[in-house]
A and B are shown apart, each in its own frame.
Chain A
């Protein structure tokens, strides 16, 4: 067991060498003619408009939180799955209750609309959120008029 993880650790160390060695070979073989244009950031050939390190709506903040909960849950399920055959019906029912609680959580998040990439409505809104209006992006299709 510990020896297996020792193997994995040594693999990680070998990995460093295996990435570094080709980079070193490249450094020896390749030309080194740097210029300002070469070193500039690529933006489709245009002059760069400011840095990319700006405030950015990552959109999936809640998804990341749900992910942590479900990932931990998967970790809980793994040992259960290993002994599932030995424990039989009791463990099965117990785990169904556990999964049921989590499924309830998923249903709650689903209902609240946190699984939507673009939230079009805030149905649970109160206070300052109650005045949010639904702005659904439906591209208006120009009607084709018969000529």
Chain B
């Protein structure tokens, strides 16, 4: 994306004279669509979440606002109306809160997520920063957000927030390890951390019909996919792992005191993080921008379409989780991570290694 813009800029006289300015401008211009994507992603995902929840509970969900203020057919504009409402809400910082940290928290949370998006490729060309260590970079940037969560919880000077933040810290750092370890299975088979190589290694077919995505590669990678996905769901604090913001016990967890636009950044980041987890899972295990029908519907816009559909499907599964599994208790959550996910993710690495050396 940046390279493409730089090519265009090199034709413009005053920009080609100062390469640094051209670079900054190119990055900014590729950053704005990503922000737009994050915002639209949040709007669509919130709408989808409400509709999916509604249909799973045999309800209709948002169907428009009735007299005067129509939120579109089937409530399609509901989330847009919500966003406008958030923009006009009074900005409240509790008198007893730590003002500086309270203001800083959404910044850190959002920037950690936004910077991670820079390394997420939508197809082989549409990526802001095509890192050689893409997958590692996203894992690293994904864990910056927890600092924002802890700051938000601590600075609010609210007991609910403090509990939520402490739970979140324990949970996110614990589940980060299985998430990283299960991705190693893919990296071992690819020999590269760059997304373009990981996806390129998944072209072709296995067993005649299946696309040779890593999820179908061998039993251990199939297992690793689910390990990563479930650990990812835990990392973005989704139900069954939504202890940090368990509304029935902690009001709203670490963002209890946030309202209006500040709060909306927590929400924006949550849905953007869901997309990052789903996107990384799709890239590493589900062939990223490759078509599920090898040889057909490939390249260019099809790539973006397939990547987005895979990510959207995984996000749908996360929403499905929400109405299927009851919330875990904190001790169950930690036990599951350290006593099941940790040994299991070690075993997948050993299993993939043995499979690759001796069985294949």
Contact = CB atoms under 8 A, between A and B. Distances in A.
Interface of A: 1, 3-8, 10-12, 14-16, 18-19, 22-23, 25-27, 29-34, 36, 38-44, 48, 51-53, 56, 58-60, 63-64, 66-67, 70-71, 74, 77-78, 81-86, 88-89, 92, 95-96, 99, 103, 106, 110, 115-118
B276 interface: no
- Mostly helix, strand, loop or mixed at chain B's interface? helix
B60 interface: no
B257 A8 contact: no
B177 A16 contact: no
Interface residues of B, number: 83
B191 A41 contact: no
Contact of B31 (A10, A26, A58): A10
B90 A10 contact: no
21 contacts: A5-B129, A7-B129, A12-B114, A14-B35, A30-B87, A38-B92, A39-B94, A43-B159, A52-B156, A52-B158, A52-B159, A56-B166, A63-B173, A70-B342, A77-B181, A82-B192, A85-B188, A85-B356, A99-B346, A106-B338, A106-B343
B261 A110 contact: no
B350 A99 contact: yes
B111 A40 contact: no
B106 interface: yes
Given A41-B158, A89-B357, A115-B334, A82 B187 contact: yes
B87 A25 contact: yes
A26 B111 contact: no
Given A41-B96, A116-B331, A78 B184 contact: yes
